[in-house]
Amino acid sequence: MSLRARWILIGIVTLCSLYLSVPSFVPEQQRLDSALIPDEAMELGLDLQGGIYWLLRIDTGEAVRQELERIKGSIIELAEEKQLLLARSEVGGEVLTLGGDLPGLRKLVEEEIEIADVSQTDVVIELRLDDNWRREVVDRGVRQAVEVLRKRVDGLGVREPVIAPQGSDRILVQLPGAVDAAGARSLIEKTTFLEFKPVLDAAPSRELLEAKLPGGVPEDQVIVIQESATGKESEALLVPKKATLTGDMLEDARLGFDRRNRPLIEFQWNSEGARIFRDFTGEHIGDRLAAIIDGKVVTAPVIQSKIGRNGQITGDFTRDEAANTAVQLRSGALPIPLVIEEERAIGPALGADSIRQGLQASLLGIALVFVFMGIYYSTAGWFANAALVLNLLIIIALMSLSQATLTLPGIAGMILTIGMSVDANVIIYERIREELRAGRPARTAVQAGYARSFWTIFDTNLTTLFAAVILILFGRGPVQGFGVTLTIGLIASMFTALVVTRALIEWVYGDNPQKLRI
């Protein structure tokens, strides 16, 4: 590459870096108001700007109970197919108890339910999950909960949250920035399950409805309650246990408003849900349909016409309640309840102190490097210092462009990059010195120094880059932040060491290389 081409490349990189770095030093509102400043900016992590830290634990007992309920349903269906007497089937704690045709049920369980621990008495069969199955149930619950939490937190608009498994049955959640802690906690803890069920009968209260059912509530039906805005019982509804449609078939849910500007939830079914909803509403015009969220009736209107893909849920919502419920419905139901084991609110004052200390450490490290390079390598050392400034500018620009998160370990990665950037120049300069001691002309020594140093620098940075990429792929939070800044710093240092310092040396000493001061 010619000297002219190098300077054109350096100029483009410098201008682009300056332009992309500006948003990281400008307040967010000013960025949004200005058409000249890019929106992308480097984000600060939880340890720098404050926020919320949660350590959640899934309810393993509930996870096991849900799995046993699923097994119970399978056994009931299989027993009906094989015409076996199943007089008793109930889940208590972490045990599924079966009664009836014990020899037949025992054979069915051993053939169809392969990984359960089975014990038998004279009157019942007891099933428990074995250790492997139990571990798989918990792992699956954690994975599903992480995905649901990610969708819900995205709905909050939190930038760069950390949501990751922590151990066998725990989940780490970090929400940096100014977040409504109470609202976020409610959003994360709630299971939120939507069901649509036809109303079979209704009365002003549960007692009155039960009085209308002299034989009691049928086994396949249940009474649900609709509450008024004050939280009092306003109506009791008799509905089937099995839902016509559930939130699993939702494609989208969002906050909306009616003609009187009252908040409501607008929803959209997927193709299967739209077909079922269209057919059902078309066949039940004039009947009531209850929308039930987490066991509570939100609304139970009369079906006026056939409804297809889109619909609305109205109720006594506040704006925030409707918005949060829409987020919960859109992200799906949590498969297992979560328990908050640890909660911390990190204030921005601590972050400001960390930034100040990190900045002081960075400036001290840069100053020491500048002094050493300037004294030890004379003019060429100051060329390396100039390249180091551009290196830091490139790191900030690329982190702003990718909207990466800067954490305290990220600042440590920047400081490490300073040392590695200078290290590349040290390798080059020492190689040039060797060539000069061997009696080579200055121009030849410079060319040989850069040419013979390239593969040494490349190999060194490549192995470190592999380690940094592994930190990004498998690390979480601060570890990942360290990997990001280190990766960007390595790429930038290769450019500044091999292109920028050489361009400066050739520009200053091009006409008279014999005056080279190194």
Per the domain annotation, does 354 fall within a domain?
Answer: yes
Per the domain annotation, does 55 fall within a domain?
Answer: no
Asked whether residue 290 falls in the same domain as residue 325, the answer is: yes
Q: Tens digit of pLDDT for each residue in 379-416?
A: 888 988 898 889 888 888 888 887 777 777 777 777 77
Mean pLDDT, residues 271-299 taken together: 84
pLDDT band at 485 (very low <50, low <70, confident <90, very high): confident
- Domain end (from 314, 341, 368): 341
Q: Quick one: which of 106, 76, 108, 77 has its CA closest to 89?
A: 76
Give the 3-state secondary structure of 99-132: EECHHHHHHHHHHHCCCEEEEECCCCEEEEECHH
CA distance 130 to 436: 74
pLDDT beyond 80 at 195: yes
Asked whether residue 38 falls in the same domain as residue 69, the answer is: no
Q: What's the whole-model pTM score?
A: 0.53
pLDDT band at 12 (very low <50, low <70, confident <90, very high): very high
Q: Quick one: which of 385, 374, 267 has its CA closest to 330?
A: 267
Asked whether residue 382 falls in the same domain as residue 448, the answer is: yes
pLDDT beyond 80 at 100: yes
Q: Tens digit of pLDDT for each residue in 234-243?
A: 889 999 988 8
Q: Quick one: which of 464, 470, 493, 485 has its CA closest to 411?
A: 485
pLDDT band at 354 (very low <50, low <70, confident <90, very high): low
pLDDT at 31: 63
Q: Which of 54-63, 155-164, 342-351 has the highest mean pLDDT?
A: 54-63
Asked whether residue 389 falls in the same domain as residue 503, the answer is: yes
Asked whether residue 152 falls in the same domain as residue 130, the answer is: no
pLDDT beyond 70 at 144: yes
- Domain end (from 135, 163, 191): 135
pLDDT beyond 80 at 45: no
Asked whether residue 398 falls in the same domain as residue 304, the answer is: no
Asked whether residue 35 falls in the same domain as residue 150, the answer is: no
pLDDT beyond 80 at 80: yes
Asked whether residue 389 falls in the same domain as residue 440, the answer is: yes
Asked whether residue 284 falls in the same domain as residue 176, the answer is: yes
Per the domain annotation, does 310 fall within a domain?
Answer: yes
pLDDT at 478: 67
Per the domain annotation, does 54 fall within a domain?
Answer: no
Report in angstroms the alpha-carbon separations of 509 from 160, 379, 451, 482. Answer: 47, 11, 18, 38
pLDDT beyond 70 at 355: no
- Domain end (from 323, 341, 359): 341
pLDDT at 205: 87
Specify the number of domains making up the chain: 3
Asked whether residue 390 falls in the same domain as residue 469, the answer is: yes
CATH number assigned to the domain comprising residue 206: 3.30.1360.200
Asked whether residue 103 falls in the same domain as residue 216, the answer is: no
Could you identify the residue written with the tokens 């960007």? Answer: 488
Quick count: other Cβ atoms within 10 Å of Cβ 98? 25
pLDDT beyond 80 at 44: no
Per the domain annotation, does 284 fall within a domain?
Answer: yes
Per the domain annotation, does 115 fall within a domain?
Answer: yes
Q: Tens digit of pLDDT for each residue in 291-345?
A: 887 777 877 888 878 877 787 777 666 777 777 667 666 655 566 778 888 887 7
Asked whether residue 301 falls in the same domain as residue 218, the answer is: yes
pLDDT at 155: 61
- Tell me which amino acid residue 461 is: N
CATH number assigned to the domain comprising residue 450: 1.20.1640.10
Query: Left if phi > 0, otherwise alpha if psi is -120 to 50, otherwise beta: which for 192?
Result: left
Which structural domain, as residue segments, surrounds residue 170?
144-341
Mean pLDDT, residues 158-171 taken together: 77
Who wins on pLDDT, 514 or 266?
A: 266
Helix (H) / strand (E) element for 458: namely helix 442-474
Per the domain annotation, does 381 fall within a domain?
Answer: yes
Per the domain annotation, does 53 fall within a domain?
Answer: no
